[in-house]
Structure 1
């Protein structure tokens, strides 16, 4: 059977150091506790994917394959792989399967796109900023915008300290404040707790907090796998903001990733606009992800866009209804 256990899947991921966070077994287990069913498909030592199924009414599901390993090869000609995928999706009564490849827009060239529909919706933010952290800390700092570099040093001078933390209830409370201020959705306290419990014991996640005189001001949860790291969740309250705690906090997260041997640090999400539009509007717009672009741009990374999601459709009528009436509200 191509479906494999969690332990077999983790062994596969261990042999693929470029695997994305969303393909890690722990991510599947996290989503399993919050409405998704993970299924791991493994054909051989080079070919596999973790698929998540979300329950819909009437016993139906939607399938989601986020950032599969070796995405470029899978999306070319791999008939045996897609036959197994189709079989698993039909077994789980999926209306369709959404695939977000682990490739950048300019390099995504599938030869069999006729088997898919270009999706009108992404689940993950398609555009992001990645920072090359292979070089020395001095070089990384030198690539930053002067104001960002200044704010990091200012935070240190103004008494901000950063340390590891494990107070998930306080982190969740801070996330709630940030979500209300910046108008974005926040997971439950149990979600963050479960993420921490799954990843932290393996050394692939750290919760960091920035404090002033022992008072928490900002916090973030950073994840890593082999050569890559991701800034996924971050929050700050409304206290002592003039001390720039978020800048030093982000710098210490970058240092944490670098110490673990990572080469790339992904800031995970900015507005889906080209660089010219972003630079022309970031000082006046604060809605959606615009509120974080001004902050993230300062760290000297490269703006990138992931390849657009594609959908593999199994029930065309229900797929049409989903896209029209449900997908637009996601």
Structure 2
């Protein structure tokens, strides 16, 4: 049924080699930006390699994966498919594409001079298909090479009054509080914008006891987003002072809140509520259908590290989305155990 394109190093997003793949992703409703070629290109700056598997039928893309590679110890690496693999609808077609993707990755592994401990996948599936066999579920954030599996998505297709109406009363009220205080929302992808974002983000991370990502990460990310038109940095300002911020990524019909924060000293202004509502309205005007708040504490876990931020996010209403766990296919047990001491 299908012909698999042999795994090859994925070219930078600016080349034509992956333009068809990126266009394919944009056409789908259930995919994520971490399967885009620009994301793979961006992660090269953090030491990741990459290759791609694309399956076609009569020239039309059916599915595939952008696969990241990471060397966690000399001569030892693992393969990682964030927000993928991307499969067609229909269990039979999905099963065939999935099997072919795994075969292509296995062919790549056999020629890799390094020891490949495992393949990690994080597909945007809400239930595990029967054809996925041999993988083990990994507890959430067991190591640093994982993304959230519980999230909250706001449907942007209804009119603005309906989006407001489905929010929690306190969420709607706090949007009004911010407006009455004169809070305004702007975009700024400049160097000044980066400096403002880092000031707010780092203060928030310290307050929450989290390890912030380095400046270089955001320099590369915001530069890439601005150059490709795939995202932007938003700020809530009060009397010219920036007091809340958000990095937002766009892919097809989805806008994703990726990173952000707010200043505790300005808490009474409720700026983050207006910030995110304005982001939603601007994303809606661009044609986005969903606003993904990118990670919440699972229901029924009051002691979860994300509980406080999740209480905030849930005031916007939306649909709770619980994705299948991170899944590992172990190739080499000894190397996998070694990986476990490095993550």
TM-score normalised according to structure 2 size? 0.86
Match of 1:98 among 120, 135, 143: 120
Count of residue pairs brought into register by the alignment: 314
The equivalent residue for 1:5 is 11
Superposed CA deviations along residues 163-202 of structure 1, whole A, max 9, x for unmatched, are 0112112211211100000122321122112111112233
Superposed CA deviations along residues 241-275 of structure 1, whole A, max 9, x for unmatched, are 2111111001111112111211111111111x33x
| 1:70 corresponds to 2:108 | no
The equivalent residue for 1:81 is 101
After superposition, the Cα gap between the structure-2 partners of 1:260 and 1:43, relative to the gap in structure 1 and judged at 3 Å, is same
**CA displacement at 1:2 relative to structure 2:** 3.3
Q: Which moved more, 1:261-270 or 1:39-48?
A: 39-48
Q: Which moved more, 1:182-191 or 1:87-96?
A: 87-96
Q: 1:112-123 counterparts in 2 under 5 A? A: 112-114=132-134, 116-121=135-140, 123=146
Q: 1:153-302 counterparts in 2 under 5 A? A: 153-166=176-189, 167-271=193-297, 273-274=298-299, 277=300, 281=302, 288-302=305-319
Matches of 2:199 and 2:96, distance apart in 1: 47
After superposition, the Cα gap between the structure-2 partners of 1:39 and 1:270, relative to the gap in structure 1 and judged at 3 Å, is same
Q: Which moved more, 1:200-209 or 1:76-85?
A: 76-85
Superposed CA deviations along residues 136-165 of structure 1, whole A, max 9, x for unmatched, are 111000000011101001101101011011
The equivalent residue for 2:68 is 52
Match of 2:264, SS state, is coil
Matches of 1:247 and 1:5, distance apart in 2: 39
Match of 2:24 among 15, 21, 40: 15
The equivalent residue for 1:32 is 44
Superposed CA deviations along residues 121-150 of structure 1, whole A, max 9, x for unmatched, are 551111111111111111000000011101
Matches of 2:140 and 2:162, distance apart in 1: 38
More helix by share: 1
